[in-house]
Amino acid sequence: MNVTPAENWELAQWIVVPADTTMRFTQNEAQLTVRRTKLVEGWYNGSPRETVVQRIGKARADCSAVTVNGHEACAARSREQGFRMRWLLGKRTVRHDLLWHCPDLAAVYHMEYDGPAERAAVMEQFAVACCTRNDA
């Protein structure tokens, strides 16, 4: 998996098991996880939106269709559910998901950001390469 992190983000965890690789990056109280799952023929239904809904729940999945590396993708944004005391301190967190299928590599890629809303745009600063296609 080829991931170029945004500046000042540290690789906190890297898990590699057959057909499943996960990299978790952190910066203060925020984290961004990149996961590549292979052997998708048995479970991937062909829809990035439906896969995001399955992974994060229908109530939280507010998806927009986007393109990543030339592939159809789903970008979902959600806020923390239920009341939390930290909201009163202005520390509400958000979750942003970006999921796409790369048929060339037979893999599903899933980026997930959890952290302060004002830093959620960092997802655009991470470069995750799958195949040789591009967004041009």
Residue 38 lies in a domain: yes
Instruction: Say which CATH number the domain at 24 has.
Output: 3.40.1000
- Total domains in the chain come to 1
Residue 134 lies in a domain: no
- The parent domain of residue 96 ranges over 11-129
For the cut 60, the answer to whether the pLDDT of residue 116 exceeds it is yes
Q: What is the pTM assigned to this prediction?
A: 0.84
Cα separation, 52 vs 73, whole angstroms: 10
Residue 36: predicted pLDDT: 95
CA of residue 111 relative to chain centroid, distance = 1
Q: Please, is 110 exposed, middle or buried when counting C-beta atoms within 10 Å of its C-beta (0-12, 13-18, 19+)? A: buried
Taking only the tens place, the pLDDT of each residue in 43-98 is: 888 888 888 888 777 655 578 889 998 999 999 887 655 556 656 666 667 888 99
Residue type, 70: G
Helix (H, G, I), strand (E, B) or coil at 19: coil
Residue 107 lies in a domain: yes
Residue 122 lies in a domain: yes
Give the Å distances, CA to CA, from 104 to 34, 38, 45, 69, 71. Answer: 18, 11, 16, 11, 10
Residue 93 lies in a domain: yes
Cα separation, 79 vs 51, whole angstroms: 19
Cα separation, 113 vs 94, whole angstroms: 8
Residue 74 lies in a domain: yes
85: CB partners within 8 A, 6+ apart: none
Q: What DSSP character marks residue 86?
A: G
